[in-house]
Structure 1
Amino acid sequence: MTVFRRASPPPPATRTRAVLCISLALVFASAQAQDAGALQAADPAHAGSAPPPLRLPDPGSADAQAQPADIAAARAIWQRANARVAEFPRGHIDLLRQEAGHTGPAAEPGGASAPLPLDLAQALRLSLRQRPELFTHADMNPLALAQVRVAYAVHVRELQRTWIDAVTTRQRARLLADMLDATRTGSELGRRMVVAGNWSQARQVREQLLEASAWQAAVAAQGEALAAQEQLAQRLGLWDAADVARLGERLPESLPAPPPTPSPGPGLDAGSIEAAALRSHPTLALERIAAQRQRAALGDDRRAAWQRAVDAALVALPDPGSAPTPPHIGDLSLLRDHALERAVEGDAKLLRLAAERRAMARQAWAQLQVQHAAALHAQNVVGPLQAALAQETLLRYNGMLQSSWELLASARERLASLDAAQQARRGFWLAQADWQALLAGADYADSATAPSSTGGGSAAPAGH
């Protein structure tokens, strides 16, 4: 009888070596693929994939709608139109949606696999493959290590901004496309009423102007979304057009909701944010040590003499309304004291740096709280109020108490409210990225005042 013996597992050291070999092989293969991609991207003879065709919405027309030639023709058209509308529970709106093919949400195809989502952590890992200078090394001195950490914090902040803008502009393009559909419904309804003789050309032209404004906003939002996607692809090292086009499909549908309360971070509160910002600066501690040494090497009498000279120069300073003249010190014994000069300049530099850093901490924390409050207000107050108004308008429309135009205007207002809420959410996450970068050692860069790709387009008008 044959006996099958189960092989004994390899010793732990052997398993560790095997895992290490596999990891090194994967890293080596990834580096080879990256090198090959860089060579192809820089080769003019390598065409790459063709970008997908740009699909813009139909711009519509400014042509005037022809009216019936006589009363009999107008009556016949009017009767046919009313009979067609009566077939639908909500009249004109359901009729136009049915003709446009918008009878309901389309079913997802069975078995279709969605692309892998691209969150911030994955985007960061991809971007770092192109930034070897942001890796720390074992033989770095403390100053070089601090400088790399600050550069890394700036890189993370800029990547977060780009990722947030890519997600926000993509959602905004969808919202403004829906708003264009709503305005086109009103324009088509007005066209049919002109044909039936119920409307004037002037009212129809107003609907066409609304549609034209919504088209401009939708196209601008589409362009902003494409630009933000290209910016993100550039930071991730994606250069092939097909890969860049698939990048948009991997982004989440929207930004996550803000937390219930803003937090400065683990172990921090409002009273310790300035100290945290000071500790994170790469050279502030070194500047402080140097200033202490220079102060210790200088006598108190020399510093007092310098202070008296400064006070006298400031008292003699001319009035600001006259010709600008800088303060003047004429004591050459003070000016030729190099130890005093180094101590005074060191103190002044340290004070400017510390004051700037503390101001950055207060400003960044205040901005984070403001943006958080705005995002929660848009989400918890404005959003529910707008939804309640839209529901009430629909109920009154179903009860024949409001017109189709009021229902369409309510739909546009609801979409504009969703867009405003998304922009407020974007503001919070940008402020959060700025705050985290400051705590990591970077200088504060207020995203609220920085140019962004989401502010160029304007929403379509909400009403008449």
Structure 2
Amino acid sequence: MVVLRRLSPPFTHTRSCIAALSLICLSALGWPALAQPDNALQAADPATPASAVAPLALPATGATAPQERPADIARAREIWQRANERVAEFPRGHADLLRWEARNPGDAAPAAEGNSARPEPLDVAQALRLSLRLRPDLFTHADMNALDQAAVQVAYAGHVRDVQRAWVDAVSARQSWRHASELWDATRTGSELGRRMVVAGNWSQAKLMREQLTEASAWQVSVNAQGTALAAQERLAQLLGLWDAQAVARLGERLPASLPAPPPRAAPGAGLSETTLEAAVLRADPLLNLQRTEAQRELNAVSASRRQTWAAAVDAALVAMPDPGTASTPPHIGNLSLLRDHPLERATRAEASLLRAASERRSMARQAWAELQARHASALHAQNVVAQLQAALEQETVLRYNGMLQSSWDLLASARERMQSLDAALQARRDYWRAHADWQALLNGAGYAGPDTASNAGAGTTTTPAGH
């Protein structure tokens, strides 16, 4: 089931049902109940005991000092023989040896890694319900007029979009952090292998330092990815009203391991087609519907001939207007009888304002739909083409390595490239779900601000040099 489904407005249920459901969700997640009357007072009170903020688990930095070489030939031969004997114990040579030693500091045999049970993931529907407890302004009331209800509907659709995008960003950022950590681990393996080869006398210091630079760049990418993940998690925590450090940390544990895969094809929605998109977006805007009713009433109060006279005066003023390159003078109407006709003035203003709003709304529909299609195509391409090709290339490199046709460096470089392609596919998937949230918000009455510059690129955040 795709979690980013359209959500029915919560105000269709009773307030007591909403409160009960939110309390159940909070209890299941192990978070403090927001329904406590003094919860906000505790959060805002500097005297409230706060949980200790856990320090960042930063990866260890690599060594920068040049590797000391053996002083004599006999010592060098001894080191070289011992290193090759250790490598011969593993079928894939250096790469297997380094990975085994990283997992097994002692001499014990490698142990199978157990899969720790993950807590129940927090989906976007639960996140939305939790966030609405902080937004009483997004609930409609029985005594609201049509204009107030329309304003709440538009604001609610925008809030749903914000929660969906924050959830998508938090999930994808944590996954990207894992990719960056794995990439750093691969570069660390290459750096350690180079260090041993320098000790054995098979490699130069210059080659080792290039591997160390690659490792240093990967370390920085991993740290940046961790910062991005924590920032996205904090943004989601703000929308949910989580203020305790431990509760925010548990939020990260509740997020799913990955985003759902995009659907096979980009669809505008149930009962919608390319020819009915604009109409659906127009109908979804309650403020525009009220504006259209008001403009119709104002236009009906003025005769058609009077409006034609005004249109002729406008055309004449536009023709007489000086060229913009010679003077900055606005068009001018001198017919006082037209200017003092207040019903005509209200009708023309209402008509012009409605035309601007309708044009903007139709443009939003075209832009959002085009963006959704482009992001969907990019996500499928990265997932089904680029990532698959990179996986096949890595497998071919492994086969050639096992056949002693390629070196350990080719194997490590192939692994790094595949991790980068996986992260690029993740970013493309994230961009699709953000575009999907924008499209759903537009269909529910919110506006469309356009894609963010950072997320529109659809490229991974990993920029580690390829190395050897």
TM-score of the superposed pair, with normalisation by structure 2 = 0.89
Q: Tell me what 1:35 maps to.
A: 37
- Partner Cα separation in structure 2 for residue 377 and residue 71 of structure 1: 55
Correspondence for 2:246 among 222, 242, 249: 242
Cα distance, 1:61 vs structure 2: 2.4
Q: Tell me what 1:173 maps to.
A: 177
Cα distance, 1:33 vs structure 2: 4.4
Letter in 2 for 1:252: P
- Partner Cα separation in structure 2 for residue 24 and residue 410 of structure 1: 51
- Partner Cα separation in structure 2 for residue 224 and residue 265 of structure 1: 32
TM-score of the superposed pair, with normalisation by structure 1 = 0.90
Q: Which has the larger radius of gyration?
A: 1
Instruction: Indicate whether 1:388 and 2:392 are aligned.
Output: yes
- Partner Cα separation in structure 1 for residue 284 and residue 311 of structure 2: 32
Cα distance, 1:32 vs structure 2: 7.7
- The answer (yes or no) to whether the contact 1:220–1:457 under 8 Å persists in 2 is no
Cα distance, 1:447 vs structure 2: 3.2
Correspondence for 2:114 among 82, 107, 111: 107
- The answer (yes or no) to whether the contact 1:93–1:404 under 8 Å persists in 2 is yes
Show the 5 A alignment for 1:10-409. Answer: 33-101=35-103, 103=110, 106-108=113-115, 114-409=118-413
Structure 2 CA distance for partners of 1:343 and 1:24, relative to 1, 3 Å: closer
Cα distance, 1:26 vs structure 2: 5.3
Cα distance, 1:269 vs structure 2: 1.0
Cα distance, 1:452 vs structure 2: 9.4
Cα distance, 1:104 vs structure 2: 6.7
Letter in 2 for 1:437: A
- Partner Cα separation in structure 1 for residue 59 and residue 159 of structure 2: 36
- Partner Cα separation in structure 2 for residue 52 and residue 58 of structure 1: 17
Structure 2 CA distance for partners of 1:373 and 1:88, relative to 1, 3 Å: same
Secondary structure (helix, strand or coil) at the match of 1:170 reads helix
Cα distance, 1:357 vs structure 2: 0.5
- The answer (yes or no) to whether the contact 1:149–1:441 under 8 Å persists in 2 is yes
**1:118-169, CA deviations, whole angstroms, 9 ceiling, x for partnerless residues?**
0111111111111112112222222212211111111110000100000000
- Partner Cα separation in structure 2 for residue 32 and residue 370 of structure 1: 40
Q: Tell me what 1:12 maps to.
A: none
Letter in 2 for 1:106: E
- The answer (yes or no) to whether the contact 2:119–2:253 under 8 Å persists in 1 is yes
Structure 2 CA distance for partners of 1:436 and 1:105, relative to 1, 3 Å: farther
Secondary structure (helix, strand or coil) at the match of 1:382 reads helix
- The answer (yes or no) to whether the contact 2:76–2:200 under 8 Å persists in 1 is yes
Letter in 2 for 1:94: D
Cα distance, 1:421 vs structure 2: 0.5
Instruction: Indicate whether 1:443 and 2:440 are aligned.
Output: no
- The answer (yes or no) to whether the contact 2:368–2:435 under 8 Å persists in 1 is yes
- Partner Cα separation in structure 1 for residue 403 and residue 460 of structure 2: 40
Letter in 1 for 2:100: Q
Structure 2 CA distance for partners of 1:29 and 1:121, relative to 1, 3 Å: closer
Comparing 367-376 and 300-309, the one that deviates more: 300-309
Letter in 2 for 1:156: V
Structure 1 vs Structure 2: percent identity of aligned residues? 66
Unaligned runs of 5+ in 1: 1-19
> Aligned residue pairs: how many?
441
Structure 2 CA distance for partners of 1:165 and 1:454, relative to 1, 3 Å: farther
Cα distance, 1:73 vs structure 2: 2.2
Structure 2 CA distance for partners of 1:42 and 1:456, relative to 1, 3 Å: farther
**1:328-350, CA deviations, whole angstroms, 9 ceiling, x for partnerless residues?**
22222222222221111111101
- The answer (yes or no) to whether the contact 2:210–2:467 under 8 Å persists in 1 is no
- The answer (yes or no) to whether the contact 1:288–1:350 under 8 Å persists in 2 is yes
Letter in 2 for 1:197: G
- Partner Cα separation in structure 2 for residue 236 and residue 159 of structure 1: 9
**1:222-262, CA deviations, whole angstroms, 9 ceiling, x for partnerless residues?**
01111111111111111111111111111101000011111
**1:35-71, CA deviations, whole angstroms, 9 ceiling, x for partnerless residues?**
2322221121112211222210011121111112232
Secondary structure (helix, strand or coil) at the match of 1:283 reads helix
- Partner Cα separation in structure 2 for residue 29 and residue 223 of structure 1: 31
Q: Tell me what 1:13 maps to.
A: none
Q: Tell me what 2:465 maps to.
A: 461
Structure 2 CA distance for partners of 1:375 and 1:198, relative to 1, 3 Å: same
- Partner Cα separation in structure 1 for residue 296 and residue 133 of structure 2: 42
